[in-house]
Amino acid sequence: MHRVLAITVAAALSSIAFAGVSQAGSLGMNTAQGIEQTLRTFHGNDFNVEQVYNWRNRDDETTGPRSAPERSGQAVHGIQASIDANRSLAHRLNNKGVDVRNIVNAEQAADGSLTFYVR
């Protein structure tokens, strides 16, 4: 009985350790540096585009998601520059009618897909 309990505890601890590793990796994927790296190397077609409300006018929150945090001007410029550096991504966005200069945020989901937020 003691042996079964020891194996169960060891299995639980190792799964917690692995869960922490995967969570730690996901925490950095949407930081300014993390999302810029992802945008420079992204080659898939699994992305969507969402309109955002006017961050300067908080009364206009009905036209876009509340979940898109505002990025600093420098972070927005970094996102746009990373998209420009990835010509195939810039081309795919252009084909969907998205002007890179209107992108104010980007987020990567756990499944690897991207969401671009445009004003």
Task: Quote the number of domains for the chain.
Answer: 1
Residue of 118, 117, 119, 113 lying closest to 46 (CA atoms): 113
Distance CA 8, CA 27 (A): 29
Quick check: is 20 in a domain? no
List beta partners, residue 63: none
Quick check: is 9 in a domain? no
Question: Residue for token digits 């799964």?
Answer: 15
Quick check: is 86 in a domain? yes
Quick check: is 2 in a domain? no
Q: Which domain does 88 fall in, by range?
A: 28-118
Planar angle of CA 23, 25, 30, nearest 5 degrees: 100
Per-residue pLDDT of the chain (119 residues; tens, 9 = 90+): 556 555 655 555 555 444 433 333 456 778 888 999 999 999 988 999 988 866 555 555 555 555 567 789 999 999 999 999 999 999 999 999 999 999 999 999 999 999 999 98
Quick check: is 61 in a domain? yes
pTM: 0.68
Quick check: is 23 in a domain? no
Quick check: is 114 in a domain? yes
